[in-house]
């Protein structure tokens, strides 16, 4: 899952980002509304976590602009104001969900996964093909009841491939959704991770390489 985190409190933003990355998410971080709009214009995010009280461009205006652009990303608004009217206002602006501060990281992760399942092509909570299953909420990947022992990046890559439901996924898309904007576009990390993922999944092989195009399950 690719997430844009927009939060002007840098320490808090970096803490949240570390927590989300531990959950296998690719996270880009910006600290003001103008930067958020710029990032959203050039990257495809699954969810945008948007603080309301932002400098330069207020979070409410960012939300309005994203909705006007018809962005495919889901929007989760954060704010220190937690009254019912504040929540209603945020949702009326076009946000898909609303979380008042302070919040537990576990709840934020659960809400992000729920929003991810409400993407344009809805993704089921447990992904499977044949005897291979992947449960993002439990961070569990098994084949025929055998735990695969995947790293976070391997898990994220398998999640993207399974969610594609047979569609070919390019190396560029895998790099974008599993890593983040700091990943070197010329790296061979996708190919190497596919190799280790294939080895851990075992036989019969499930990941197919489409030469010059990408990978699919």
Q: Which of 66, 99, 117 lies at the terminal end of a domain, its last residue?
A: 117
User: Could you tell me the CATH number of the domain that includes residue 65?
Assistant: 3.40.50.2300
pLDDT value at 216 more than 70 = yes
What count of other Cβ atoms lies within 10 Å of the Cβ of residue 174?
Answer: 23
| Residues 43, 105 within the same domain | yes
* Residue finishing a domain among 117, 142, 158: 117
* Angle, helices 84-92/59-68, rounded to nearest 10 degrees: 30
Higher pLDDT among residues 137 and 174, named by residue: 174
Q: 156 in a domain, yes or no?
A: yes
**Nearest one of 69, 7, 10 to 43, comparing CA atoms:** 69
Q: Does residue 71 share a domain with residue 140?
A: no
Q: Which two tokens stand for residue 31?
A: 């600290």
Same domain? 30 vs 58? yes
Q: Which residues of 38-73 are buried (b: 16+ CB within 10 A; e: fewer)?
A: ebbeeeebbbbbbbbebeebebbebbebbeeeebeb
Same domain, 101 and 151: no
Instruction: Band the pLDDT of 8: cuts 50, 70, 90.
Output: very high
Residue 168 and residue 98 in one domain: no
Domain of 132, in residue numbers: 127-216
Collapsed DSSP state (helix, strand, coil) of residue 88: helix
Specify if 31 maps to a domain: yes
Q: Do 110 and 140 have their domain in common? A: no
What pLDDT was estimated at residue 86? 65
Residue that wins the pLDDT comparison between 126 and 9: 9
Q: What is the dihedral of CA 29, 156, 194, 174, to 10 degrees?
A: -50
The string of pLDDT tens digits covering residues 77-121 is 988 765 666 666 667 788 889 888 889 999 999 999 888 877 555
- Tell me, what DSSP letter sits at residue 57? S
* 66 and 85 both lie in a single domain: yes
170-210 residue pLDDT tens: 988 888 888 876 666 667 889 999 999 999 999 999 999 99
């Amino acid at each position: 899952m690719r997430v844009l985190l927009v939060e002007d409190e840098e320490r808090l933003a970096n803490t949240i980002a570390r927590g989300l990355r531990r959950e296998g998410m690719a996270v880009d971080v910006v600290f003001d509304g103008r930067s958020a709009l710029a990032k959203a214009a050039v990257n495809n995010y699954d969810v945008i976590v948007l603080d309301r009280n932002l400098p330069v461009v207020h979070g409410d205006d960012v939300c309005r602009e994203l909705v006007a652009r018809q962005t495919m990303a889901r929007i989760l608004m954060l704010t220190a104001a937690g009254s019912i009217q504040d929540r209603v206002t945020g949702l009326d602006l076009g946000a898909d969900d609303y979380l008042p501060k302070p919040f537990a990281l576990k709840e934020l992760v659960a809400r992000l996964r729920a929003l991810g399942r409400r993407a344009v092509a809805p993704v089921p909570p447990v992904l499977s093909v044949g005897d291979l299953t992947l449960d993002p909420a439990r961070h569990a990947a098994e084949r025929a009841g055998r735990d695969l022992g995947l790293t976070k990046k391997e898990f994220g890559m398998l999640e993207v491939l399974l969610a594609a439901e047979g569609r070919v996924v390019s190396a560029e898309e895998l790099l974008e959704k599993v890593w983040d904007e700091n990943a070197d576009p010329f790296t061979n990390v996708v190919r190497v991770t596919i190799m280790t993922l294939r080895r851990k999944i075992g036989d019969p092989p499930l990941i197919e390489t489409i030469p010059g195009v990408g990978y699919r399950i």
